[in-house]
Amino acid sequence: MKKSAVVFLIFFLFPLLVYSQCTKDNYSGLSYPDSFDGWIRGDIKDLEAKNPGYGTMADYDLNKLHVTLYFYNEGLSSIDFSNVENNYNNFCLEVKKFESQGIYSNVVAPVKLPDLVINEDVKVLNAYFEFTYKGNSYGSFYFNTAMKNHLVKVRFSMPVSLLEEKKSTVNDFVKELYKRIIECD
């Protein structure tokens, strides 16, 4: 009997607990996956208190790779994929603004890539751009979708020097992150 209990714990219960650890976001009702696959989630930051509609965000880091996950609604009561498209257009304008203000330099404007599809029913807008910030060149992927009347945006950035080596991990990581957000609810 003891052996059966140990086998159950090791093979069934423990992986479930490790796989499904999430922190519920008070603002959106969505959940931030905790750390997984070596990625460490930082603190959840409340942007909503100072800037209504900005929601919350959390960073995930692994070596020189950096991901920021945002849950927000821009003050809208209903969010669908047209809002995701509008948000992308605003993001492109923001990148231009950062360049004109001297925050970013050497910008390669955002370009849409093929959308990702998660669990066969969640469409995720996908784009890529490059910029220099404080003398360092970065490649940054932009992903965004609509869930539970919120925009769920992911920015995945890395030094351009790592792009060829790490590019294949980007979509896999982002798909896994979105799957975990869905599964946490």
Torsions phi, psi for 130 (to 5 deg): -125, 155
CATH architecture of 23-184: 3-Layer(aba) Sandwich (3.40)
Q: How many residues does the chain have?
A: 185
**Pairwise CA distance, residues 86 & 137, whole Å:** 27
Place of tokens 């995701």: 84
Report yes or no: 75 and 53 within 8 Å, Cβ to Cβ: yes
**Residue 6 φ then ψ, to 5°:** -65, -45
Q: Where are the domains of the chain?
A: 23-184
What confidence score (pLDDT) does residue 3 get?
Answer: 60
- How far is it, in rounded angstroms, from Cα 116 to Cα 22? 23
Cβ neighbours for 100, distance < 8 A, ≥ 6 positions apart: none
Q: What mean pLDDT do residues 58-68 have?
A: 91
- 127-162: per-residue pLDDT in tens? 999 999 999 999 999 999 999 999 999 999 999 999
Q: In the prediction, which pLDDT does 21 show?
A: 87
Q: Residue 37 — pLDDT band, cuts 50, 70, 90? A: confident
CA distance 131 to 112: 16
Residue 68, classified by CB atoms within 10 Å of its CB into exposed (0-12), middle (13-18) or buried (19+), is: middle
Three-class secondary structure of residue 27 per DSSP: coil
Q: Please tell me the distance from the alpha carbon of residue 29 to that of residue 32, in angstroms, as a whole number.
A: 10
Greatest CA separation found in the chain? 69
d(CA 165, CA 21): 29
Whether 11 shows a pLDDT value over 50: the answer reads no
Considering the entire predicted model, what is its pTM? 0.84
Nearest to 50 by CA among 30, 27, 79: 27
